[in-house]
Amino acid sequence: MKKSLLYILFFLTAYISIAQTKVADNFFKDYAYYQATELYLEVLKKGDTTEHVLTRLGDCYYNNSNVKLASYWYKKAVVKYKDVNPEYLYKYVQTLRSLNQFEESKKWSTIFKERKKNDKRIEDDEFDIEKFEALESTDNVYVNFENLEINTKYSDFGSFEIDKVLYFASTRVEDTIIDQKKLYQWNKEPFLDIYQSDISINEGTKLVGSPIKIESNEINSDFHESSVAITKDGETMYFTRINLNNKNKAKYDKEGTSQIKLFRAKKVDNKWKKIEELPFNGEDFSTGSPTLSPDEKQLYFSSDREGSKGLTDIYKVKINNDGTFGNPINLGSKINTEGRENFPFIAKDSTFYFSSDGHINLGLYDIFESNILKRDTAEVYIKNLGAPYNSGFDDFGFFIDTETNTGYFSSNREGGKGGDDIYSFGKYECKQIIKGITKNKITNEPLAKVVVKLMDENGKVIQMETSDKDGAYEFKNVACNQNFVILGERVIYRPDQKDVTTNEESGDETFVELFLTPLIIDVEIVINPIFFDYNKSEIRPEAAYELENIVAVMREHPKMVIKIESHTDSRGRDAYNKKLSDRRAKSTRDYLFSRSIETNRVESAIGYGESQLVNHCNDANSKSCSEEEHQENRRSKFIITGGYVGE
């Protein structure tokens, strides 16, 4: 018998733990991290130390910017579970860096690299961590950037702007039905074509029109074209194309690779024609990503030809007055490494930009700047542009107009629309204000002492304010062109939240009203209906989620005493309904006790069955009533009998 009781207690504890975890998960989903933390900690006390609970605790603190406690719980998860999701290893490393525990950070960086060998977000552990952190920081970096509307779920990248026209490469599709035979087998996307869009600038922000295919019947083929450079007079274009044979079919080398080549086109009657292949291409190596020097006497490009230092190097070639070319020259070890250097671009002031995974970087391709082309340079520098241009993913295709300080770069970073996306940027400070009023939803009167949180799309708290006596709150220095969640919370009120998207206008204000519903109305604590499984009285996770509102109210008013009433509809036998409702009332009471509400604070928990119907749906009318009408009678009431004198 004793053993049976132990088994029952074991399974009952396990059931409660699972149910409570689900309740905590609901709070986590609703950004209620404090409540979720409390519930996860209670589950932990019951012996549940699963990876889910430990990592969720870490996330709760992480999203509330409590790095120390986030690090504490992540450490418990990564130490106990050797096969923990690698993303938690990465988060743990991030918290260690925030806590200046650099040696420990290097140790877990190595473990992360072993687990995710192809993930370049954390580079070799021999680098200077302080430099790495500096690259990630956006302190005193005033750059507003946005994912362009023209991006698709496919790949869009590489930007060149001239005469208010943007040229770029894209695998976008124009037909709803895609011919599977015309997909690039590498990534199962359509082949790249060159597109163009009209552009304008509004207070430093690029506004890009609807894309159309480049004005030419000869440039775009059934295979890849990309990476454009155009002369200042708009008459000559250099572009990249996959190697084609004389039948305009992809041509492959002996290893099955189709190399890329550089081509030149001339504008005739406002269309690109006279396509010619450049003489320094090859059949067994690639040549691509063209850009011109400011005087247009040199063409720069990337290639993996023989003599390259790394996987791909950047070269230059002289353009003679008669349009012929000299011999390609490698830019040398100042720029090129054993890794990949690609996507060169030269600004009007001769500043040289390129992408590399060989110089110190945040992972994969990063965008770099150099003065190597400027005359009278005492010392050549190579500078990583850092965030927000660079991330832990591929960042490339940089273009800047130094007269307007606006431009573009391409990236496959998280949060994009497709494989590669084009981002525009403007070097200026863009900040806005979000303000509003918190109100009582029932009376529509201003509500003070509401804690209002400004959160990003991932639920991370950015700012937090408390509304004043007039219900007013205000967030200053809010980033432009971002999505936010505004959440208002006050004990004994049901929270309210609103989704907000700031626009692109610096200094704009957004007004957001929040309406919090009081949980105490007259002498009753009012919550959403709590439901039970058919013919059962056990508290389901959804019901527990609602009952936490009762717990919160009673904790706020420690002398409050209530009584619980449970009612059913008229269907079923009277005696059975009374017994079932009584069990449910007492099950509800016991849940409150389990949450440390003293037993003397629940005066009674009684089920009344169908004896106190609130509408006409009695036995005689039962069959004619709708389910909604029956639901009005299936209710639980929490009536205040003492210890509360109002606010």
- Parallel, antiparallel, or unpaired for β 461-466 and 451-456? antiparallel
- Nearest to 146, CA basis, from 208, 196, 212: 208
pLDDT per residue as tens digits for the range 82-121: 999 988 997 887 677 666 676 787 888 889 888 877 654 4
For position 534, what pLDDT does the model report? Answer: 66
Check whether 175 has a pLDDT greater than 60. no
For position 221, what pLDDT does the model report? Answer: 74
Each domain of the chain, given as residue ranges in start order, spans 2-136, 144-426, 431-518, 521-642
Q: So what's the architecture of 521-642 in CATH?
A: 2-Layer Sandwich (3.30)
pLDDT per residue as tens digits for the range 271-328: 888 899 999 999 889 999 999 999 999 999 999 999 998 889 999 999 999 999 999 9
Rounded CA-CA distance 39/465 in Å is 25
Check whether 6 has a pLDDT greater than 50. no
> Which superfamily does CATH assign the domain made up of 2-136 to?
Tetratricopeptide repeat domain (1.25.40.10)
For position 12, what pLDDT does the model report? Answer: 39
Rounded CA-CA distance 368/390 in Å is 9
For position 530, what pLDDT does the model report? Answer: 86
Q: Does residue 513 or residue 255 have the better pLDDT? A: 513
Q: Using a CB cutoff of 8 Å and minimum separation of 24, what contacts does 551-554 make?
A: 551/592, 551/595, 551/597, 552/491, 552/492, 552/519, 553/491, 553/492, 553/519, 553/520, 553/525, 554/592, 554/597, 554/601
Q: Does residue 141 or residue 495 have the better pLDDT? A: 495
For position 182, what pLDDT does the model report? Answer: 47
Residues belonging to the chain: 647
Rounded CA-CA distance 429/205 in Å is 11
3-state secondary structure of 70: helix
Could you tell me the pLDDT band of residue 13, with boundaries at 50, 70 and 90? very low
For position 647, what pLDDT does the model report? Answer: 67
In the block, tokens 């007492």 appear at 586
- Nearest to 158, CA basis, from 422, 407, 385: 422
For position 414, what pLDDT does the model report? Answer: 80
For residues 203 and 506, the answer to whether their CB atoms sit within 8 Å is yes
For position 8, what pLDDT does the model report? Answer: 40
pLDDT per residue as tens digits for the range 571-620: 888 898 899 889 999 999 999 999 999 999 999 999 998 888 889 999 88
Rounded CA-CA distance 290/117 in Å is 32
Check whether 197 has a pLDDT greater than 90. yes
The percent of residues in the chain predicted with pLDDT above 70, rounded, is 85
pLDDT per residue as tens digits for the range 399-442: 999 888 889 999 988 888 877 899 999 887 678 999 999 999 99
Four-way CATH pick for 431-518: 1.10.510.10, 2.60.40.10, 3.90.380.10, 1.20.1560.10: 2.60.40.10
pLDDT-wise least confident of 191-195, 301-305, 399-403, 517-521: 191-195
Query: Where in 152-286 does DSSP place strands (E)?
Result: 156-162, 165-170, 183-184, 189-190, 193-202, 205-208, 212-213, 225-230, 236-242, 260-268, 271-277
Could you tell me the pLDDT band of residue 27, with boundaries at 50, 70 and 90? confident
Answer yes or no: same fold for 431-518 and 521-642.
Answer: no
pLDDT-wise least confident of 12-26, 359-373, 401-415: 12-26
For position 186, what pLDDT does the model report? Answer: 37
For position 644, what pLDDT does the model report? Answer: 85
Four-way CATH pick for 144-426: 3.40.50.300, 3.40.50.12500, 3.40.190.80, 2.115.10.20: 2.115.10.20
pLDDT-wise least confident of 70-74, 225-229, 530-534: 530-534
Check whether 247 has a pLDDT greater than 90. no
pLDDT-wise least confident of 54-68, 281-295, 346-360, 388-402: 54-68
- Quote the mean pLDDT of the chain: 85
For position 180, what pLDDT does the model report? Answer: 44
Task: Of 173-182, 503-512, 545-554, give the range with the top mean pLDDT.
Answer: 545-554
Q: Output the pTM of the full model.
A: 0.50
What value does the mean pLDDT take over residues 2-13?
Answer: 42
Rounded CA-CA distance 91/99 in Å is 13
Residues 6+ apart with CB under 8 A from 370: 334, 335, 351, 352, 353, 354, 380, 381, 382, 383
CB atoms closer than 10 angstroms to residue 470: 11
For position 9, what pLDDT does the model report? Answer: 39
